[in-house]
């Protein structure tokens, strides 16, 4: 199914079912891209986007987010099902200006791979249902969903950019911060060093630290800890039974290390998450 025939000017929605194993490549994405995996069973995929390279397991409901103008590559070895949402960059900038997003004329969408995002999943299902119904809900309904999706992306997947950002003698960009964050996502279970992040971002360690704090509000090590804690919470909520196993999967030294940071960030322990789910 494809929304091209409908009057949806700012977003294209396509549904892909049982796509045969292959390699898909786009040298430069024309639009911001959101992919929602819908294959009923987990499937092994290899993915690449700019500084990001990873081989992992895509599960039903996993969400990928990629920025326009960037390289995108994916390879899979079993039939794959997914929904593609292609959002016009100009429209995202338009919404950013409406909500007074910082530096709305220069936005950088941050990569996300195999992320659990209930909001994106729900919006994609509403859009898919409207596509199946031939747009019966009318333009206002679809525009509202596209606007809702855009605001969610702006709040959760963008870094503000500024052409006047100078650190030391050379200008550094939010794209470099995004590359460092991509590297974190791809290597959560590894012992990541500042040098590793600097190489991924094509920046010196000192410059990266200063730029990273400017655009995220915290240094890289604190950002990484929060990423690990958030991924741990996703695993605990979606069925991983062992806290120790989760700790190992997301890069904490052990269960107590995870518990200490988890409680500091979320106010509850991992054990409480398991008990309440």
- Quick check: pTM over 0.85? no
pLDDT on residue 160: 53
Per residue in 4-40, pLDDT (tens digit) is 988 888 999 999 999 999 999 988 899 999 999 999 9
Containing H/E element for 45? strand 43-49
Q: Is 253 exposed, middle or buried (0-12, 13-18, 19+ CB in 10 A)?
A: exposed
**How many residues make up the chain in this entry?**
277
pLDDT on residue 229: 92
pLDDT on residue 127: 95
Pairing of strands 11-19, 52-58: unpaired
pLDDT on residue 104: 65
- Let me know how many helices (H) and strands (E) the chain has, helices first: 10, 11
Q: What is the mean pLDDT of the chain?
A: 85
Average pLDDT, stretch 239-263?
87
Burial 89-100 (b: 16+ CB within 10 A, else e): bebbbebbeeee
Average pLDDT, stretch 125-145?
90
Residue 83 β-bridge partners = 15, 36
pLDDT on residue 169: 36
Instruction: Please give the share of the chain, as a percent, with pLDDT higher than 70.
Output: 91
d(CA 274, CA 46): 30
Annotate 126-168 with DSSP letters as a single string: HHHHHHHTTSTT-HHHHHHHHHHHHHHHHHHSEEE--TT--BT
**Strand 112-116's sheet: what is its strand order?**
11-19, 80-87, 32-37, 62-66, 112-116
Closest C-alpha among 117, 89, 124 to residue 104: 89
Q: What topology does CATH give the domain 3-160?
A: Jelly Rolls (2.60.120)
- 95: three-class secondary structure by DSSP: helix
Contact 85, 11 (CB under 8 A): yes
pLDDT exceeds cutoff 50 at 173:
yes
Bigger pLDDT: 212 vs 125: 125
For domain 219-277, give the CATH number. Answer: 1.10.10.60
Tell me the two tokens of residue 150: 């855009």
**With bands split at pLDDT 50, 70 and 90, how would you rate the model's confidence at 49?**
confident
Closest C-alpha among 3, 10, 1, 6 to residue 144: 10
Burial 5-43 (b: 16+ CB within 10 A, else e): eeebebbbbebeeeeeeeeeeeeebebbbbbbbbbeeeb
pLDDT on residue 103: 64
When mean pLDDT is compared over 107-121, 173-187, 254-268, the highest value belongs to: 254-268
């Amino acid at each position: 199914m494809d929304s091209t025939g409908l009057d949806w000017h700012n977003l294209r929605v396509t549904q892909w079912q049982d796509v045969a194993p292959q390699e898909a490549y786009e040298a430069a994405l024309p639009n911001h891209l959101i992919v929602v995996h819908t294959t009923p069973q987990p499937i092994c995929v290899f993915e690449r986007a700019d500084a990001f390279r990873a081989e992992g397991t895509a599960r039903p409901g996993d969400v990928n987010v990629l920025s326009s103008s960037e390289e995108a590559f994916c390879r899979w070895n079993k039939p794959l099902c997914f929904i593609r949402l292609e959002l016009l960059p100009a429209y995202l900038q338009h919404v950013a200006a409406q909500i007074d997003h910082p530096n709305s004329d220069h936005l950088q969408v941050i990569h996300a791979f195999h992320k659990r995002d209930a909001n994106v999943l729900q919006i994609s299902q509403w859009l898919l249902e409207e596509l199946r119904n031939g747009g019966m809900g009318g333009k206002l309904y679809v525009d509202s969903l596209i606007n809702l999706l855009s605001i969610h992306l702006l709040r959760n997947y963008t870094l503000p950019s500024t052409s006047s950002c100078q650190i030391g003698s050379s200008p550094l960009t939010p794209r470099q911060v995004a590359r460092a964050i991509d590297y974190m996502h791809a290597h959560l279970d590894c012992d990541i060093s500042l040098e590793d992040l600097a190489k991924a971002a094509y920046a010196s360690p000192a410059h990266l630290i200063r730029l990273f704090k400017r655009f995220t509000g915290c240094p890289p090590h604190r950002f990484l800890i929060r990423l690990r804690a958030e991924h741990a919470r996703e695993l605990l909520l979606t069925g991983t039974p062992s806290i120790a196993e989760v700790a190992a999967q997301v890069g904490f030294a052990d269960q107590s290390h995870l518990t200490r940071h988890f409680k500091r960030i979320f106010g509850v322990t991992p054990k409480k998450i398991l008990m309440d789910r």
